Each structure stands twice: as structure tokens, then as C-alpha cells.
């Protein structure tokens, strides 16, 4: 028996490309950066993953919970995994035997241990990692969320009952408010959850398009109360993250839908980015662009509760950023919400003749109010929008806490443990 191989057996951590909806949650969660992706697949680096399981429960689809017993020297490489369209089967006992792995040692295989490089990296000065503060549990008073009722292999159908541009018309950037009706199909959602839309057709290599995820913008009892419908806030992608022209497959499809069209929907997804329900809870919402969708859902639910006299008045505070006022979805309706109901702060980064302002600048300006909220265990913080905003926002919270004499390590850990700081950036 080859003892070198015997000593090098792992349970290799793999992601099922047929079920994964490419939501990026795992990559944002993994504390050791073991997960990476390209336009095709999300994959796990065998030599970095230490099997800590931090990514398992936040994954909305379960596609990340896959493990294969492998001789270490034959572990699937990143390059191999990126080309997969389905997971490879477990190696048979004969194949493992041929690779020098006995049945007993295959059963004893463990997830890979930390590599020396990783351990060395951790021994140096820790870098600020905003994702480590994001909670993977919901607030204690959140309602129960249903997830994965329609997994990627078995989508359901919804009918478009509304579609309008909710940014100012005539500008390059366009964001649509889409209303989908599920008829008699059960599709219960809560504020903060998302759904997947499967664009029709196939990609450049003839593979069925994977679903794109969109946050629900309507409250739990529907865009139109009492109807089985949800709304979405979808930005038309016309340039990629680098600013090069591109035609986003799904966002353009959704923005061009007509009333009466049908769409394939998967989900719902998400069981932690949920709002608190106890009446004295405070909600701080920090968002850019379409990150406003879950904030609209939460605000509207609180507005409906208040209207029906069922709310005792926890605070609502919103920090909302966009390049210009014209690009800001729902700008008009937001203006008409009563000031004693919601404290709204806008940041525009490209207004002609004005200095650039980002959401984190506004947060620092409102440090006194935010510090008071950070001291209050009934406060919940939600961050949603561009990936690039996340670190600045969490750093701003950290600085606000420190300036108020709070120990950020204690506050940050409590926010995470108690499901009171939620990050959803894409």
C-alpha cells in the first residue's frame, strides 16, 4: 500500500453547477477565500478549503453541500471545476483502490486541513474583512421563510402583470419595476428574500441559461395586497462591471417583458436577510441602486402595519446612494413618505457641480444617531447593492462605534450572532 497516498485522502468540497444559482453568497461568506468563480461556475479550491462549513447554511440552494472522497494528488483542480456542467460521480471503490486508497481510509477521509500558506497568512496582521460581520441567521422575531419551493430543475411559471421604468425616463440607466403574478401556485415570500428568473434560450456554448437572482421589492402580502403577486426592481445591464458595453442576458429580457408574458421562476431564496417583526425593532437600511428592492419591501410592510395601527414605532432609517437623482429607483414615491415614519438620506456621486457623496459619507455625518442605534439591541442593519459599497459601509459602522466609545469587536460579533447585520451585495 502506498502510504503517501493513504495519508493524502480528502473529502473534496464541490459545488453542484446544475443547482447553483451563482448568487455569490458562498464566496462572500467563506472566511478563507476558498471559493472563486468565472462566468460559468462557482468552485472551491481544494488546497484552501478547511471544511469549516461556514458556507453551508447561507447557500440558498444547497448546491454547495457536496463532498467527494479523493486522493489528494488527484483532487479536482479549479480549472477542471470551472468547465463542469454536472458534478462527477464518487470514485468507485475500485477506482479508489487503484489510486492506492483502501476502503477503511476512504471512510475516514476528512475535509482538507488548513494549508501552511493559509496558516502563515493568518499569522500576519488581519485585514478588515467586511463579510465576516454578515449574519447567516435571521433576527429572532423574523417570520418563517419558505425556500427552494421551486428549485432550478423544476421552475414554476408566473405572469407579468406590470412593468414600468421606475427611474427617470430618457437617461442611459434604466431600472424597471416588474410585477409577477403566480395565480394559484403557492409562492410565499418575505421581505428580503429573492427569486430566480430563468431567461429563455441557451448560452454561447448551447447550455441552458442559469437563473439570475432578483430581490423581492414587495411586502409579504403582495405588491397588490391580497393577491398572489411579487414585484422586482430590475436594472437593465448595458455595461459590465468594468464599464465595457455588454447586453445582460436576463436583465434586458426582464426589462423588455410585456404585460401578459409568462416567465420561468425558481425559488424563493434566502432565509436570513429577513426583517424583524417585534414592534420596537429599529431598521437601518443602507443601499445603492437596485439594492433598494428589499428596503422598499420592508418599508412598505412597515407602512401597511402603521396604517392599520399595528405598529408601535421602531425607527426606520434609510441611506440610499446612486450616481444621480435620475438613476435612483422610486425617488418620487420615497419623497412622499412622512418624515416621522422614515429618516431618509440620499447620496449622489455624480451630480454636476457637487462633490461626490457616497452612502458611507452620509453615515459618518449621521454618526450620533447611528451610534445610539448601535447601542440599542433592538436595532437591525441591512446593506444591499453594489459589491464595492460593502467594505466602506461596514468600516463606517465600525468607526461610528469606536468614536462612540464602543468596542467594535464586541458590537460586530453581537450584530452577527443575533442576526442584526445583513450584507447582500452583488
Ligand X SMILES: Cc1cc2nc3c(=O)[nH]c(=O)nc-3n(C[C@H](O)[C@H](O)[C@H](O)COP(=O)(O)OP(=O)(O)OC[C@H]3O[C@@H](n4cnc5c(N)ncnc54)[C@H](O)[C@@H]3O)c2cc1C
- The conformation of residue 167, written as its DSSP 8-state character, comes to S
Residues 29, 136 contacting (CB under 8 angstroms): yes
Cell numbers describing residue 211: 437563473
- Residue tagged 429599529 (cell numbers): 282
Residue 36 touching ligand X (CB under 6 A): no
Site for ligand SF4, rule CB under 6 A:
13, 15, 20-26, 29-30, 32, 34-35, 42, 44, 49-55, 59-61, 63-64
Binders of ligand X in range 4-33 (CB under 6 A): 23-24
Report the relative pairing of strands 194-198 and 212-215 from DSSP bridges. antiparallel
Question: Could you tell which of ligand SF4, ligand X, none binds residue 241, using a CB distance below 5 to 8 A set by kind?
Answer: ligand X
To ligand SF4, the closest distance from the beta carbon of 41 in angstroms equals 9
**What is the size of the binding site for ligand X (CB under 6 A)?**
23
Question: Could you tell which of ligand SF4, ligand X, none binds residue 109, using a CB distance below 5 to 8 A set by kind?
Answer: none
Residue 201 marked in a binding site: no
What's the rounded Cα separation, in Å, for the pair 290 and 296? Answer: 10
Cell numbers describing residue 120: 502563515
Name the residue nearer to ligand X (CB basis): 213 or 229. Answer: 213
Name the residue nearer to ligand SF4 (CB basis): 22 or 177. Answer: 22
Give the angle 344-350-356 at the CA atoms, nearest 5°.
70
Cα dihedral 214, 148, 45, 81 in deg (nearest 10): -90
Residue 290 touching ligand X (CB under 6 A): yes
To ligand X, the closest distance from the beta carbon of 7 in angstroms equals 39
Residue 386 marked in a binding site: yes
Binders of ligand X in range 159-218 (CB under 6 A): 194, 212-215
Name the residue nearer to ligand SF4 (CB basis): 267 or 321. Answer: 267
Name the residue nearer to ligand X (CB basis): 167 or 290. Answer: 290
Question: Could you tell which of ligand X, ligand SF4, none binds residue 272, using a CB distance below 5 to 8 A set by kind?
Answer: none
Binders of ligand X in range 329-388 (CB under 6 A): none
Longest dimension (CA), the chain: 75
Residue 426 touching ligand X (CB under 6 A): yes
What's the rounded Cα separation, in Å, for the pair 393 and 137? Answer: 20
What's the rounded Cα separation, in Å, for the pair 226 and 181? Answer: 12
Name the residue nearer to ligand SF4 (CB basis): 148 or 349. Answer: 148
Q: Which helix (H) or strand (E) holds 187?
A: none
Of 370, 420, 393, which Cα lies nearest the Cα of 288? 393
Name the residue nearer to ligand X (CB basis): 213 or 345. Answer: 213
- Which residues participate in catalysis according to the annotation? 214-215, 384, 424, 426
In Å, how far are 197, 292, 313 from 306, measured between CA atoms? 32, 20, 8
Of 419, 424, 319, 318, which Cα lies nearest the Cα of 378? 419
Question: Could you tell which of ligand SF4, ligand X, none binds residue 190, using a CB distance below 5 to 8 A set by kind?
Answer: none
To ligand SF4, the closest distance from the beta carbon of 82 in angstroms equals 13
Kindly provide the b/e burial profile for residues 394-417, where b requires at least 16 CB atoms within 10 angstroms of the residue's own CB: bbbbbbbbeeeebebeebbeebbe
The torsion angles phi and psi of 121, rounded to 5 degrees, stand at -65, -40
Contact code string over 224-263 relative to ligand X, x by CB under 6 A: ---------xxx-x--xx----x-xxxxx-----------
What's the rounded Cα separation, in Å, for the pair 35 and 14? Answer: 10
Q: Ramachandran region of residue 215, left (φ > 0), alpha (ψ -120 to 50) or beta?
A: beta
Q: Among residues 293, 322, 334, 374, which is the contact residue for ligand X, using CB under 6 A?
A: 293
To ligand SF4, the closest distance from the beta carbon of 76 in angstroms equals 14
Residue 389 touching ligand X (CB under 6 A): no
Residue nearest to ligand X (CB): 248
Binding-site residues from annotation for NADP(+): 215, 235, 290, 349-350, 356, 385-386, 424
List residues near ligand X by CB under 6 A. Answer: 23-24, 194, 212-215, 233-235, 237, 240-241, 246, 248-252, 290, 293, 424, 426
Amino acid at each position: 500500500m502506498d502510504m503517501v497516498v493513504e495519508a493524502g485522502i480528502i473529502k473534496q468540497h464541490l459545488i453542484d453547477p446544475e443547482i447553483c444559482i451563482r448568487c455569490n453568497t458562498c464566496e462572500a461568506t467563506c472566511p478563507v477565500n476558498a471559493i472563486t468563480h468565472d462566468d460559468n461556475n462557482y468552485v472551491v479550491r481544494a488546497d484552501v478549503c478547511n471544511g469549516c462549513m461556514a458556507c453551508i447554511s447561507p447557500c440558498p440552494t444547497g448546491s454547495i453541500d457536496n463532498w467527494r472522497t479523493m486522493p489528494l494528488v488527484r483532487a479536482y483542480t479549479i480549472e477542471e471545476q470551472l468547465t463542469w456542467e454536472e458534478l462527477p460521480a464518487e470514485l468507485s471503490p475500485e477506482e479508489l483502490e487503484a489510486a492506492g486508497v483502501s476502503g477503511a481510509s476512504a471512510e475516514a477521509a476528512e475535509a482538507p486541513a488548513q494549508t501552511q500558506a493559509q496558516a502563515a497568512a493568518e499569522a500576519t496582521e488581519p485585514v478588515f474583512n467586511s463579510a465576516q460581520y454578515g449574519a447567516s441567521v435571521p433576527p429572532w422575531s423574523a417570520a418563517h421563510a419558505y425556500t427552494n419551493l421551486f428549485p432550478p430543475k423544476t421552475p414554476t411559471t408566473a405572469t407579468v402583470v406590470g412593468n414600468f421604468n421606475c427611474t427617470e425616463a430618457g437617461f442611459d440607466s434604466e431600472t424597471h419595476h416588474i410585477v409577477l403574478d403566480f395565480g394559484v401556485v403557492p409562492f410565499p415570500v418575505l421581505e428580503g428574500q429573492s427569486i430566480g428568473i430563468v431567461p429563455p434560450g441557451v448560452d454561447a456554448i448551447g447550455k441552458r441559461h442559469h437563473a439570475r437572482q432578483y430581490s423581492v421589492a414587495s411586502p409579504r402580502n403582495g405588491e397588490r395586497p391580497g393577491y398572489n403577486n411579487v414585484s422586482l426592481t430590475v436594472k437593465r445591464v448595458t455595461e459590465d462591471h468594468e464599464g465595457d458595453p455588454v447586453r445582460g442576458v436576463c436583465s434586458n429580457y426582464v426589462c423588455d417583458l410585456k404585460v401578459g408574458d409568462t416567465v420561468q421562476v425558481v425559488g424563493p431564496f434566502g432565509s436570513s436577510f429577513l426583517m424583524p417583526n417585534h414592534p420596537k425593532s429599529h431598521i437601518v437600511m443602507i443601499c445603492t441602486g437596485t439594492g433598494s428592492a428589499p428596503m422598499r419591501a420592508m418599508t412598505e410592510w412597515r407602512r401597511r402595519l402603521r396604517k392599520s395601527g399595528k405598529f408601535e414605532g421602531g425607527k426606520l432609517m434609510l441611506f440610499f446612494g446612486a450616481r444621480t437623482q435620475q438613476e435612483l429607483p422610486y425617488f418620487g414615491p420615497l419623497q412622499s413618505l412622512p418624515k416621522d415614519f422614515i429618516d431618509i438620506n440620499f447620496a449622489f456621486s455624480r451630480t454636476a457641480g457637487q462633490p461626490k457623496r457616497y452612502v458611507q459619507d452620509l453615515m459618518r455625518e449621521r454618526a450620533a444617531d447611528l451610534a445610539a442605534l448601535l447601542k440599542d439591541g433592538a436595532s437591525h442593519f441591512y446593506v444591499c447593492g453594489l459589491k464595492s459599497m460593502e467594505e466602506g459601509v461596514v468600516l463606517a459602522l465600525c468607526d461610528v462605534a469606536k468614536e462612540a466609545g464602543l468596542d467594535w469587536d464586541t458590537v460586530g460579533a453581537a450584530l452577527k450572532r443575533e442576526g442584526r447585520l445583513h450584507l447582500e451585495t452583488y
